[in-house]
Structure 1
Amino acid sequence: MNYAHTITSALPFEEAVTKVREELASQGFGVLTEIDVHATFTTKLGDESANALGDYLILGACNPRLAELALTADPDMGLLLPCNVVIRRDPSATVTTIQAINPQTMVQLSNSDKIQDVADQADTHLLAALSALKA
């Protein structure tokens, strides 16, 4: 099993970030956290490291209804929440890469039978958001 769903988009990085936020919202996800890895590298490691990395943003997306189901079924699932969505563009790239965690990862790590249903629902919504970005 691949732990990530990955697509590429011809959209420039900033436009891709905007579209990802819109599509996640249309699927019931809010963004709880945001990590600008490029900015962190600039601050902590210097411009050379940041520029070698390129644009790289990690969004912590959460669908509250699905989070409630997951945490009720298995409180340890909080270790895997929120769902990470990465938008990145290498300095030499002609496309922006967009990735979302594959929620089926939860199933492999939990002993709760109820997690399969939650993972299936989360997977459906995340894949719908990614699919809309391809269009």
Structure 2
Amino acid sequence: MEYTIQAAVTGEFDDVVDATTAALEEEGFGVLCDIDIQGTLKEKLGEEFPQYRILGACNPPLAHEGLTAETELGALLPCNVIVYERDDGDIVVSAVDPEQLVGIADNDSLDSIATEVTERFDRVLAAVSEEFEPASAV
């Protein structure tokens, strides 16, 4: 089952993270948390891991609408967008597929919100892809 939408680009990792954050902001999302998986695994386990960041993205009006329709939706928020480095050096930006995510709730009133978030995430991925050279297939 596919549960993300993604784009792969060639560029400097931190630049791709910055571009992703800026594109999310353009679409009305704030990044509530930024988790550095590479740093965390190194610090907590002494393990090496490729560059990998989890951005917890939230669009307050859409979150409010969703939580009003389904109180338990908060367990699925914020929507995660990940940026990671593949073995070949390319950078992948991957967002949770909102339609798959809210499908768990089985609440038809969330469908329009999921569609809206999907459209916004598609534009985020397109903006990042336009800013950097495309990479080989994801």
Q: 1: CA distance between counterparts of 2:85 and 2:101?
A: 27
Query: Which of 72, 75, 81 is equivalent to 1:79?
Result: 75
Unaligned runs of 5+ residues in structure 2 are 131-138
Q: State the aligned residue count.
A: 130
Structure 1 length-normalised TM: 0.91
Q: 2: CA distance between counterparts of 1:14 and 1:111?
A: 37
Is contact 2:66–2:73 with CA below 8 Å preserved after alignment? yes
* Aligned amino acid, residue 41 of structure 1: L
| Structure 1 residue 111 displacement after superposition | 3.1
1:127 alignment partner, SS class: helix
Alignment-derived partner of residue 108 in structure 2: 113
Is contact 1:54–1:89 with CA below 8 Å preserved after alignment? yes
Please identify which structure carries the higher helix content.
1
Structure 2 length-normalised TM: 0.89
Alignment-derived partner of residue 89 in structure 2: 94
Q: What do you get for the CA RMSD once the two structures are aligned?
A: 1.1
2:53 alignment partner, SS class: strand
The Cα offsets for residues 73-99 of structure 1, whole Å up to 9 and x where unpaired, read as 101110111000000013x42310110
Is contact 2:102–2:114 with CA below 8 Å preserved after alignment? yes
1:119 alignment partner, SS class: helix
Higher mean Cα deviation, 63-72 or 103-112?
A: 103-112
Query: Which of 61, 69, 84 is equivalent to 2:65?
Result: 69
Higher mean Cα deviation, 109-118 or 33-42?
A: 109-118
